[in-house]
Amino acid sequence: MEPIVLTYQVDGEDFSAAGEASSSVKKTLKQLGFSPDVIRRVAIAMYEGEINMVIHADGGEARVEITQSTICIILADKGPGIKDINLAMQEGYSTAPEEVRNLGFGAGMGLPNIKKYSDELKIDTELGVGTTLTILINT
Amino acid sequence: MKLSKVCELLDAEVLCCEEGLEGEAKSACGSDMMSDVLAFVKDQSILLTGLVNPQTVRTAQMMDMKCIVFVRGKRPEDPVISLAADNGITVLATNYRMYTACGILYANGLFSEGADKV
């Protein structure tokens, strides 16, 4: 299978649109015949990442590289960066404002969830420059 | 449990995908925190929630859920219902509060899946 690359712009202004990219990827993977377990892991990890980009970084870019054996999701934003990665990886730790919690997110589960559902997670972050997540899921 | 039974037990109104009522639900979960649903839920068919924004539908979609029940008389706006309809997710609305709605379903044999303790 030739690698398939999908790219999306994630709009940081529109919370209601968050998840559109993940939804599109989920549909594509289904059409390609990946197993439901793999599809769900990709969908959840990417969706959490997408929500993070909208909440914290005013949107960003998503790139998904699909091969037979792996699905690689790269989420790049130009947000404030993550101050303390160890804290951010702790379940329950969140810097999300109250209004985000009222929307059902900001419980401090985003990054831990992404790690839980992925086989590899790499976080490149620089304060004031942005954050890039590279999420790898073996099929 | 058939979704039509869920609808009947909760005295619920069907907001979209009525054809889905013939489907079976094996388990359910109730939460207003979508982060928790994404973190702890596995193979649940029904999401009971009082949160009416589009992310409720997105969460259900990512988790392959068949049905969303909006509790305590909450009604989502039309675009949210359309999003659910586009994804084949049956949407019900009940006036019961979360605790009662979950209790009714649980008492009638619809349990949560897997480990209940995290």
**Domains along chain A with CATH numbers:** 4-138 (3.30.565.10)
User: Residues with Cβ < 8 Å from B30, sequence gap 6 or more?
Assistant: B47, B48, B49, B71, B98, B101, B102
End-to-end CA distance of chain A: 13
pLDDT tens-digit map of A105-135: 988 889 999 999 999 999 999 999 999 999 9
Q: Taking CA atoms, what residue in B is nearest to A105?
A: B35
pLDDT tens-digit map of B53-106: 999 999 999 999 999 999 999 999 999 999 999 999 999 999 999 999 999 999
Query: In the predicted model, is pLDDT for residue B115 greater than 60?
Result: no
Q: Which of residues 23-62 of B touch A (CB under 8 A)?
A: 32-36, 38-39, 49, 51, 53-56, 58-59, 61-62
B115 falls within a domain: no
* Residues from chain B contacting residue A36 (CB–CB below 8 Å): 64
pLDDT tens-digit map of A65-108: 999 999 999 999 999 999 999 999 998 889 888 888 888 998 88
pLDDT band for position B113 (50/70/90)?
confident
pLDDT tens-digit map of A28-39: 999 999 999 999
Question: How much is the mean pLDDT over chain B?
Answer: 93
Does A16 sit within 8 Å of B54, measured CB to CB?
yes
B112 falls within a domain: no
The enclosing domain of B63 has a CATH number of: 3.40.1390.20
pLDDT band for position B114 (50/70/90)?
low
**Tell me, what's the pLDDT at A118?**
96
pLDDT band for position A15 (50/70/90)?
confident
Is B51 in contact with B72 (CB distance < 8 Å)? no
Count of structural domains, chain B:
1
Structure tokens at A58: 């005013």
Q: Taking CA atoms, what residue in B is nearest to A104?
A: B33
Shortest alpha-carbon distance between residue A8 and chain B (Å):
17
Structure tokens at A51: 């929500």
B37 falls within a domain: yes
Q: Which helix (H) or strand (E) holds A129?
A: none
3-state secondary structure at position B26: coil
B23 falls within a domain: yes
Does A113 sit within 8 Å of B39, measured CB to CB?
yes
**Among positive and negative, which fits the CA dihedral A17, A18, A21, A22?**
negative
DSSP bridge pairs for B24:
B2
B114 falls within a domain: no
B53 falls within a domain: yes
Is B32 in contact with A104 (CB distance < 8 Å)? yes
B118 falls within a domain: no
**Residues of the domain holding B53:** 3-107
